[in-house]
Chains A and B, each alone.
Chain A
């Protein structure tokens, strides 16, 4: 009998990949994808097999390393949250042009409703853009099962395959029936020059990718992950993508035709068949209306297609059993009235956290300069935007604090201050700092170093113990790289140093360094 294990969606993905003969996982931590790599790091089989699982500096380095492993003939997995796709986009799109050798699966974890993100972009657009197949599991079991199919498909088609999940699958547990671990046969290393994307070669490779499209379409039409369930005499056809299928089944599929879609490119023949057998189509998909738009184009404007674009489902935010039931016209249960006294309880910086002392000091000094702006970045310290600190003026993407401060300083803003975490700095802040040094921009950069990637749960930070060397190496004057210990008792010293470095006309870096109190607690326990 097969073993049953209670697994998070992320863990099911990880175990599925390991059992499919994975040789390496490459990733930068990002909610809701972090637990995939963590599971592999802690897994005994992965250790026995020597599966690579060390964190990467960012999603681009992860994607490229995975592509290198594929070139060498082995199976590789890249994991990231949706916005990580933006960071690795160059390598990702071109990996479809080089094609792959060993199976390459790109896992993108989307976050509709922005539980822990700054947008709800849909990674299926990226796969469409790169013209590669997508697998979108509807359950933890499918997430496990699909991984082996994803690697097989990748090696058959010689393209990367995307697996797209959403927060509610990534962070939900269910029992998964797991099989045996296989060993993947390593393929010979690439011999020809097809991976050298000079224009003449790239044109040939791009044509090859175009020529593979009918095979991808055929694979989707024949996939057992896509299935049609007809109801006799039904007027409504429903296309349910990924976990949307669960909400449709929860509401009850009596009297409707359901096409479950979990493999792309879209199975167009099945959609045409659904349209022919129904009077109208409702598209239920988590994220952006990717399928809805494609279906509209396919069936023509005289055919009624409903979904997020028509307001039958909300235009933004994740699907819920409630909004799907409403779109299907199903009755809902009576509800208790919401309490009027409940106050919001936003997340906050932990008591005793070093970032707190950094903001206390920055607020004190910034108050002395009427034009001061503090440009923020992505991490726990983004919470410095909320009361009681309300320190930061912006938070856009990884590394933007430094480059936005630079641009603002170029425009004459003074003082322009950037606050960035240690891990975010090595992820995407270093290149911006080099720009600032080369331009002699008048900015003050605060690298708030807590020796870890704290927000995602305390993963290793790529630059630990290297920050002073990185900054001076990039050309910041050594006397303007200042290290302080962010503690209330050092407040006078910290504020004095901030003042001095604001007054210095050029690039200065202040590194407040104290271990994250969450990881400190964990280290003390061990």
Chain B
């Protein structure tokens, strides 16, 4: 069994934290993992992505081939569309529905939404609003992880919950409980 995941968004949105949590869960479960990240100049307000590969078998390539990602997990709707050629035919897109507009030529938001809705398997939530309404403004990325948990298969929700707790442990009880709540919110959908 394998899960190839493209994590994407805009620099600073917290996609690497999602990768850290999934990585923590996978390591604990003894699953093979490779995760290629983007560091350096491209992080500053530009598009960022990470290739995360999980498998019960040995993994060779650090990069995901075109047409073979089981999941695109995106913090931003247009960024989800950027990586469509990597999505497998029966793959799923899990994305925030709220645009992050920091460029003058951002496309029409309704068109972005329509393109996403036309895909065979897509899950969308306004995660930034949900995070604010629920007093967890910094946990939008963990809401997204909760949404993705329904499609991860190779890791159970419990394994991911435990990883959320371990990753945020250092930051104290309040941060852990906010993120646990965020995870449940996303999981519920």
Would you call B146 an interface residue if the criterion is a C-beta within 8 Å of the partner chain's C-beta atoms?
no
**Given A173-B37, A336-B84: A247 in contact with B44 (beta carbons within 8 A):** no
Contacts A173-B34, A339-B82; is A247 near B41 (CB within 8 Å)? no
- Among A8, A333, A339, chain B packs the most CB atoms within 10 A around the CB of A339
Complex Cα gap A32–B61 (Å): 18
Contacting B82 at CB < 8 Å: which of A250, A321, A342, A350?
A342
Residues from chain A with Cβ under 8 Å of B61 in the complex: 246-247, 249-250, 321
CB-CB under 8 A for A325 and B65, given A246-B60, A343-B103: yes
Chain A residues 309 to 351 lying within 8 A of chain B, measured CB to CB, are 320-322, 325, 332-339, 341-350
In the complex, are the beta carbons of A341 and B40 less than 8 A apart?
A: no
- A binding-site residues for B, Cβ under 8 Å: 4, 6, 8, 31-32, 34-35, 115-116, 168-169, 171-175, 243, 246-247, 249-250, 320-322, 325, 332-339, 341-350, 380, 383, 455-457
Partner of A322, one of B43, B45, B65, B112: B65
Tell me the residues in window 52-66 of chain B with beta carbons closer than 8 Å to chain A beta carbons.
59-66
Is B27 in contact with A333, judged by CB distance below 8 angstroms?
no
A175 to B23, CA, bound (A): 10
Q: Is the CB of A345 within 8 A of B103?
A: yes
B10 and A345 form a contact (CB under 8 A):
yes
Q: How far is the CB of B140 from chain A (nearest CB, A)?
A: 19
Contact of A334 among B47, B89, B106, B111 (CB under 8 A): B89
- State whether A175 touches B41 (Cβ < 8 A): no
Partner of B27, one of A168, A175, A346, A456: A175
**What's the nearest-Cβ distance from chain A to residue B59, in Å?**
8
Chain A positions within 8 Å of B39 at CB level: 31-32, 34-35, 116, 171, 457
**A31–B37 alpha-carbon span in the complex (Å):** 12
Ranked nearest first, the 3 interchain pairs of A and B with the lowest CB-CB distance are A333-B67, A347-B46, A31-B40
- Evaluate contact between A337 and B84: CB separation under 8 angstroms: yes
- Bound Cα distance A349, B46 (Å): 10
Name the residue of chain B whose CB is nearest to the CB of A379: B41
Q: Is B21 an interface residue, CB under 8 A from the partner? A: no
With A333-B89, A341-B81, A342-B107 in contact, is A172–B62 under 8 Å at CB?
yes
Cβ-based interface call for B150 (8 A): no
Judge whether B189 is part of the interface by a CB distance below 8 angstroms: no
Asked if residues B60 and A250 are in contact (CB atoms below 8 Å), the reply is yes
Contact of A341 among B62, B68, B107 (CB under 8 A): B107
A183 to chain B, nearest CB (A): 29
Contact of A335 with B42 at beta-carbon distance under 8 Å, contacts A321-B61, A341-B107 already known: no
Cβ–Cβ contact B84 & A339, under 8 A: yes
Asked whether B60 lies within 8 Å of A173 as measured between CB atoms, the reply is: no
Contacts known (A168-B62, A334-B67); A115 close to B38, Cβ less than 8 A? yes
Which residue of B is nearest A336, CB measured?
B84
What is the bound-complex CA distance between A382 and B26, given in angstroms? Answer: 39
Is there contact, CB below 8 Å, between B45 and A333? no
Cross-chain pairs A/B with CB under 8 angstroms, 16 sampled: A32-B39, A115-B40, A115-B41, A116-B40, A169-B62, A173-B37, A174-B35, A175-B32, A247-B60, A320-B63, A320-B65, A321-B64, A333-B66, A335-B85, A347-B43, A350-B44
Q: Which of A175, A247, A350 contacts B45 (CB 8 A)?
A: A350
The smallest C-beta distance from B71 to any residue of chain A, in angstroms, reads 14
B11 at the interface (CB under 8 A from A): yes
Q: Are A6 and B27 in contact (CB under 8 A)?
A: yes
Cβ-based interface call for B147 (8 A): no
Q: Which residues of B contact A336 (CB under 8 A)?
A: 67, 84-85, 87, 89, 119
Q: How far is the CA of A346 from the CA of B46 in the complex (A)?
A: 5
Are A339 and B67 interface neighbours, CB within 8 A?
Answer: no
- Alpha-carbon distance A336/B6, docked complex (angstroms): 15
User: Which of the residues B38, B45, B78, B107 comes within 8 Å of A348, measured between beta carbons?
Assistant: B45
Q: A32-B39, A333-B67, A341-B108 are in contact. List 5 more A-B contacts (CB 8 A).
A: A115-B38, A168-B36, A249-B61, A336-B84, A341-B111
Which chain A residues lie closer than 8 Å to B87 at the CB level? 335-336
For B38, the chain A residues whose CB sits under 8 A away are: 115, 171
Residues on B with beta carbons closer than 8 Å to the beta carbon of A4: 27
Name B88's contact: one of A169, A249, A333 (CB within 8 Å). Answer: A333
In the complex, are the beta carbons of A31 and B107 less than 8 A apart? Answer: no
A96–B11 Cα distance when bound, in Å, is 42
Residue contact A175 to B33, C-beta cutoff 8 Å? yes
Residue of A whose beta carbon sits closest to that of B23: A6
In the assembled complex, which residues on chain B have CB atoms less than 8 Å from the CB atom of A325? 65
Q: Determine the chain A residues whose CB is within 8 A of the CB of B112 once the complex forms.
A: 341
> How far is it, in angstroms, between the C-alpha of A171 and the C-alpha of B87 when the chains are bound?
22
With beta carbons under 8 angstroms apart, the residue of A116, A174, A348 that contacts B34 is A174
Q: In the complex, are the beta carbons of B44 and A335 less than 8 A apart? A: no
The verdict on B115 contacting chain A, using a C-beta distance below 8 Å, is yes
Q: Contacts A346-B46, A347-B45 given: A32-B65 contact, CB under 8 Å?
A: no
* Contacting residues, chain A, for B27 (C-beta < 8 A): 4, 6, 175
Min CB gap B46→A, angstroms: 4
Q: Which of the residues B37, B40, B68, B78 comes within 8 Å of A342, measured between beta carbons?
A: B78
